[in-house]
Amino acid sequence: MNNLKLRTAGMAVSAAALSISLVACGSSGPAGTGASADSATMWGLTGGDQPVFQASVDSWNKSHPDSTIKLDFFANDAYKTKVRTAVGAGQGPTLVYGWGGGVLKSYVDAGQVDDLTGFLKENPDVQSRYLPSILESGVIEGKTYALPNNKVQPVVLYYNKEVFEKIGAQPPKTWDELMALVPKFKDAGVAPFSLGGQSKWPDLMWLEYLVDRIGGPEVFANIAANKPNAWSDPAVIEALTKIQELVDAGGFINGFSSIAADSNADQALLYTGKAAMILQGSWIYQGMKKDAADFVSSGKLGYTPFPTVEGGKGDPANVVGNPSNFWSVSSKATEEQKKTALEYVKDGMFNDENVQGLIDSGAVPVVTGIEDKLAASPDKDFLTYVYGMAKDAPDFTLSWDQALSPAQGDAMLANLDQIFLKKITPEQFASTMNATIGK
Amino acid sequence: MSTATTTPRRELGTGRTAGTRRTLEKGPSGWLAVPALAFFMLFAILPLLGVLFLSFTSWDGLGEIKLDGLSSWNTVLADPVTGNALLVTAKIMFFSFIVQAPISLLLGVFTAASQKYRAALAVLYFVPLLLSSAAVAIAFKALLDPNFGLGPGLGLPFLAQDWLGNSDLVLFVVVFVIAWQFVPFHTLIYQGGVRQIPASLYEAAQIDGAGRIQQFFNITLPQLKYTMITSSTLMVVGSLAYFDLIFVLTAGGPGYSTRLLPLHMYLTGFKANDMGAASALGVILVVIGLALALFLQRLGGKNRNASQLEGA
């Protein structure tokens, strides 16, 4: 019984401590004072955008004391689990933060999110402010269920210029060059690539780009369309084989499978010079700008597109990643909450202050007509690079784990982890994944 | 989970009222069990029945719950990951037991004596017990990081192993961290057990000329029989409940190396959104837990002290 008592006591203490700190947080901003039962609720992600979302909602609450929004933040992986459970139980937030794709479709199928097509028709200004290709990602079967809320997030190959200069190397343009760099960096005592393997989704970026470079975007389009045996496509097998060759060559940092991307340890390896390169989303620029300001501002951070693969069919300008994140409106929210949420989407989001906030944080908002603002930013090199990359991409493939159904996405990440650990062969991966088609 | 009701029958005195005597002969009124039983029904039995029902359905957590016969059970039983999860659970149970039991027994005996310095040490030993599993996991994850952790930080290559990323090593690291957190609790149990052994036994042994080692094996150990059963039950059944610590420390990885049954259940339910299969795993977990608890209780005869299922 001692254990139970101690635990209960411990929980009571920590719960008390937590609620004290929550109260402290709440009272420091206007969000806490105006929040009532009628407030719309909003869940966001911790990390780069957090201060921008907070500032936007704070200023909204200040100017709209009658229709306030209550904002909470969660870590990425924890959020994905929490929001689904909450939405399933009818306890989700008014504004549901999402990625589009298969997860959004499962919400739509269950009738948990509202159709926003009519809202867009009534508010042509909202429709026209977005980059059209990105707005498309919130459309399921011809109807809009999600509206972009932040920034374009293509996956970029980052490198540490200082480390490259030390061994006199150039960033790789082809896969062969990339493989040739591996022993050079290892001899210099630097890991060629950092990787947050415990989080599993960073592994996926390698597969997404390699499959696209080798077989083009059609390969994944077939998988997403649930075509039988789509995972056995030769491009998938070749991509997985190349990943295992890179693992064998010691391409990834020691202990990559225990590094979690949520803690930003993967990007820390890059700016501390322990790793030469990292394949990650454009959002880690925001993190590095904050955690390693000198490294970024002194121009030591390099970035380049993913290398081409010889004989590959994919356009080297193709991009994978997240076109944006999205707000969906919960169908379980009260009319009052929905009204507040949509008014915020219309007037509070992507106003000048919000757009500038995103740009200052090191992100590219998903709206049109921001070229001048990007050019005026101290981060203009990176921002215009990302903006161009997203705008000019012949194909922008949504991250597979978000594009597929949750069950399939989870099986894919678990099996890809096994590929990186060399516990299964590419053929085993393909046959296991073929069995999940349609689930 | 359950309340341990011990019925003291030792001191049947004289001169008591008729009511007290009846109580002592028949045990306390059954009504005393009602509040606990009601809570137990509401928060343990009912959800358990719910889980049993869900295991015969398919549900993704969002849409409709569809009756699906045995298909979840077939999926779960045919999945090699389930077998692996059982194996990992058994390994963690076994190693946790053989690491924790001797250490906590010796520490318990050591801290039971009344010298001041022992009391001071005992306080130190109990500190890990005050920390939440998540905090322990986060701290060890940082310390064991192969690139930024203790080893590289102090320049000790020996400590710079890939502790959590190496499939062969990670299980033992997990067992170590579990032991670090839970040895204090079991030490506490043993300490209490040792303090209850009558001093007269030791005095008699000393007169008979028994040394300290002999006293330990012939008096302390046999007298601690029930304490051992209690502690072992908590260790073994508790191993079935390790979740928070491992979830934060390794998330079940690398691969499936530390994905033990409760974690497998959680990931199946809340990551893969297959509530049917997760419920089937939950039922398996409950059955194994009850079977183990019953078995261990049998070892102790009719001793009711061993019925504290909650733990670890």
Summarised one tens digit per residue, pLDDT across range B38-59 is: 999 999 899 999 999 999 988 8
Is the Cβ pair A255, B63 closer than 8 Å? no
* Structure confidence by residue, pLDDT tens digits, B136-170: 999 999 898 888 888 888 878 777 788 888 888 89
Contact by Cβ (8 Å): A94, A340:
yes
Phi, psi dihedrals of residue A43, rounded to the nearest 5°: -115, 125
Which residue in A269, A410, A418 is closest to B147 by CB distance? A269
- Running DSSP on this structure, what letter comes out for residue B260? -
Is the Cβ pair B254, A258 closer than 8 Å? yes
Q: At what angle do helices A50-63 and A352-360 cross, to 10 degrees?
A: 160
**0.85 surpassed by complex ipTM:** no
Q: What is the pLDDT of residue A95?
A: 93
H/E stretch holding B178 = helix B170-195
Q: Could you give the CA distance from residue A216 to residue A212 in angstroms, rounded to a whole number? A: 4
| Distance from the Cα of residue A324 to its chain's centroid | 8
Q: Could you give the CA distance from residue B132 to residue A150 in angstroms, rounded to a whole number? A: 36
Is the Cβ pair B60, A259 closer than 8 Å? no
Contact by Cβ (8 Å): A358, A365:
yes
Of the candidates B168, B177, B175, which has an alpha carbon nearest to the alpha carbon of residue B144? B177
What are the structure tokens assigned to B127, written together?
A: 């500190």
Query: Is A407 at the interface with chain B, CB within 8 A?
Result: yes
- What chain B residue is nearest to A422 in terms of C-alpha separation? B255
3-state secondary structure of B146: coil
* Structure confidence by residue, pLDDT tens digits, B191-238: 999 999 888 888 899 998 888 889 899 888 988 988 998 898 889 888
* Structure confidence by residue, pLDDT tens digits, B9-47: 444 444 555 556 666 667 778 888 899 999 999 998 999
Q: What is the pLDDT of residue A5?
A: 43
Q: Could you give the CA distance from residue A48 to residue A289 in angstroms, rounded to a whole number? A: 9
Task: Report CA torsion sign: B262, B266, B269, B273.
Answer: negative
Distance to chain A for B162, nearest Cα, Å:
5
Query: Is A269 at the interface with chain B, CB within 8 A?
Result: yes
- Walk along chain A (439 residues) in steps of 10 and give the mean pLDDT of each run: 42 40 37 56 90 92 91 90 88 92 90 92 89 85 92 94 92 95 93 93 96 95 92 95 95 90 89 94 91 91 94 92 93 90 90 90 89 90 91 89 89 93 94 88
- Taking phi over 0 as left and psi of -120 to 50 as alpha, with beta for the rest, A309 belongs to beta
Q: Which residue has the tokens 């959104």?
A: B273
Query: Is A241 at the interface with chain B, CB within 8 A?
Result: no
| Distance from the Cα of residue A123 to its chain's centroid | 28
Q: What is the pTM of this model?
A: 0.82
Q: Could you give the CA distance from residue A59 to residue A76 in angstroms, rounded to a whole number? A: 25
Collect all residues of chain B within an 8 Å Cβ-Cβ radius of residue A256: 165
Of the candidates A395, A101, A404, A431, which has an alpha carbon nearest to the alpha carbon of residue A224? A404
Q: Could you give the CA distance from residue B195 to residue B173 in angstroms, rounded to a whole number? A: 33
Which residue in B251, B253, B271 is closest to A410 by CB distance? B271
